[in-house]
Structure 1
Amino acid sequence: EPSVPSLTDIRTRVREKFGQRPCLWQLQAVQAILRRDKDVVCIAGTGSGKTLTFWMPLLFRPDGIQIVVTPLNILGEQNTRELQQNRISAIALNKKTATLRNMRDIEEGKYRAITVNPEILSGRFENLWKNVQFTQRLISITWDEAHCVSTWGDFREEYREAHRLRYIIPRQIPFYLPSATMPDVVLNDVMRIL
């Protein structure tokens, strides 16, 4: 397992690649993800820069893949455009784009950043989880707007089933749980579900 970069290393690399100066909490979140010894919860306000933390780990794992589970397809498409502008291979999977060809490209490692809704994740990814070459490259699985795992579970069954992933993917792949709104009762529920 590669060593975890220092806060200074992360700050420098992020500035070079994304042209942004990350805050201390962003640097610490990325260190925690790259340490790969536990899940990471990040509660920070809307517009504070949580999204940048999804992609920062890619700068330290040259062959690494990040999966971001997003409740809204439009967020995934937006993220993908920004990543492509920064020369990071990215795809937003939804009903239209989850084609056999795109799934094969993902399996072959063509994309380093994958945004996907929970429905596609629980359906089309079954074969990917069995592919050791693919799962070895996974840095983390991010549950964007993590409070949705709890609050949307009643009408998006796939959120309630998210814990199944724990039994399928290698244990050292952390879940990253960013949210702007996660009171203790919701956080406890999310942790119980996942």
Structure 2
Amino acid sequence: MEGDNSIISRREKFRRVSHVWHCFLGFPSACQGVGMSGRAKRKRQVYEEEMQDAQLARWKRLRGVDIHRELEQMLGSEARFRGLQEPVLQAIMKHQRYIVAVMGTGVGKTLCFQLPARSMSSGTTVVISPLVSLQEHMVERCQQAGISCVKWDPRNCHSPSQIVIVTPESAVSKSFGPFLDRLQGLHQLDRFVFDECHTVLDSSADFRPKMRQLGELVERGVQMVYLTATLPPRIEAEFMTIMQIKADDVHMFRAPTSRPNIAYSVVEYEKDEEGRGDIAAVCRLVEEKLEENPAPAKIYL
């Protein structure tokens, strides 16, 4: 038979878990203190302080993570950091507020938000991805690495995940705002990551205009990480103006983004008796390139 203290302890644990879920689901009585007595409000204040302390403790643990060991656990014992991955990750783990990383295509920018998310069992990273076609692949890669990851869908009630992927338009939508409020109410929102962040410069009144509102997210007061392979120095100032960040506050990382293995060339061909010859010329060119670059090289037409 259980004693009174055991029953009280179980009830208290249930109350705390219930309160977390009520707050996450947005019940006003849980998140805003509506109708609470003075005693309940004091308990709510204590709870918020505990959650905030837990978040600060999580960020402190993040500073102490051995990123080399975490990389090996994630990708295997032979895995090594490439390019600017290590210094960018160190800045993220130290919780620097604004980070801009310009790194070439294919060098592993996604690792810069996957590894920090994986190293902590709690906390949420919101990844803003303007390319919808890459989102499924991103979710799959996260799950393969043992990271809980979901795509934001306003029609679903999302459980807490280490990574939430959202489009720029959804990130500033009315339906996503309350979700962020709940995460922050639980002190679970750790950072925003804007993948392919240069695309904000392509937005206009006629093309994805809401992307220009992404700068408002800095008001959330959490870490902001911007990743791209296309941000020339001459447009840095414009980018930072749109994102509402100051150059003096930004930790900038820039790697060479030129691709020496890619080249452009013009090939002339002669027309045949029928006034054509383009198809035959392309076929000959493909055959020549395949001889020069055997499999697994690929040729796109």
TM-score after normalising by structure 2: 0.55
CA distance, structure 2, for counterparts of residue 134 and residue 15 of structure 1: 34
User: In structure 2, which of residues 167, 191, 198 is the aligned counterpart of residue 140 of structure 1?
Assistant: 191
Hey, what does 1:176 align to over in structure 2? 225
User: In structure 2, which of residues 163, 167, 181 is the aligned counterpart of residue 117 of structure 1?
Assistant: 167
Hey, what does 2:88 align to over in structure 1? 29
Q: CA deviation at 1:151?
A: 2.3
CA distance, structure 2, for counterparts of residue 11 and residue 53 of structure 1: 13
User: Is 2:202 the counterpart of 1:151?
Assistant: yes
TM-score after normalising by structure 1: 0.83
Hey, what does 1:185 align to over in structure 2? 234
Q: Would the alpha carbon gap of residues 134 and 79 (structure 1) be closer, same or farther in structure 2, given more than 3 Å must change?
A: farther
Higher relative contact order (CA 8 A, sep 6+): 1
User: In structure 2, which of residues 120, 127, 140 is the aligned counterpart of residue 68 of structure 1?
Assistant: 127
Q: How many equivalent residue pairs? A: 180
Q: CA deviation at 1:153?
A: 4.4
Output the amino acid matched with 1:11. Answer: H
Q: CA deviation at 1:122?
A: 1.2
Q: CA RMSD in A?
A: 2.0
Output the amino acid matched with 2:241. Answer: R
User: Is 2:73 the counterpart of 1:16?
Assistant: yes
The superposition leaves residues 4-40 of structure 1 with CA deviations (integer Å, 9 ceiling, x where unpaired) of: 136xx10111111233322362121112122223210
Q: Hey, which bits of structure 1, 4+ residues long, moved more than 4 A?
A: 132-135
CA distance, structure 2, for counterparts of residue 23 and residue 5 of structure 1: 21
Q: CA deviation at 1:91?
A: 1.2
**Does the Cα contact within 8 Å between 2:193 and 2:225 map onto a contact in 1?**
yes
Hey, what does 1:84 align to over in structure 2? 143
Q: Secondary structure at the match of 2:85?
A: helix
Output the amino acid matched with 1:191. Answer: M
Q: Would the alpha carbon gap of residues 116 and 58 (structure 1) be closer, same or farther in structure 2, given more than 3 Å must change?
A: same
Q: CA deviation at 1:133?
A: 4.8
User: Is 2:41 the counterpart of 1:41?
Assistant: no
Output the amino acid matched with 1:90. Answer: C
Q: Secondary structure at the match of 1:141?
A: strand
CA distance, structure 1, for counterparts of residue 137 and residue 102 of structure 2: 21
**Does the Cα contact within 8 Å between 1:5 and 1:31 map onto a contact in 2?**
no
**Which 5+ residue runs of structure 2 have no aligned equivalent?**
1-55, 244-301
Identity of aligned residues (%): 26
**Does the Cα contact within 8 Å between 1:57 and 1:139 map onto a contact in 2?**
no
The superposition leaves residues 80-131 of structure 1 with CA deviations (integer Å, 9 ceiling, x where unpaired) of: 01111222111123xxxx1432xx22xx41x211111111111131102222
Hey, what does 1:100 align to over in structure 2? 155
Output the amino acid matched with 2:224. Answer: F
CA distance, structure 2, for counterparts of residue 133 and residue 75 of structure 1: 27
Q: CA deviation at 1:132?
A: 5.0
Q: Which has the larger radius of gyration?
A: 2
Q: Secondary structure at the match of 1:131?
A: helix
Output the amino acid matched with 2:202. Answer: T
Q: CA deviation at 1:134?
A: 5.7
The superposition leaves residues 62-87 of structure 1 with CA deviations (integer Å, 9 ceiling, x where unpaired) of: 20211111111111111101111222
**Which 5+ residue runs of structure 1 have no aligned equivalent?**
none
CA distance, structure 1, for counterparts of residue 149 and residue 185 of structure 2: 15
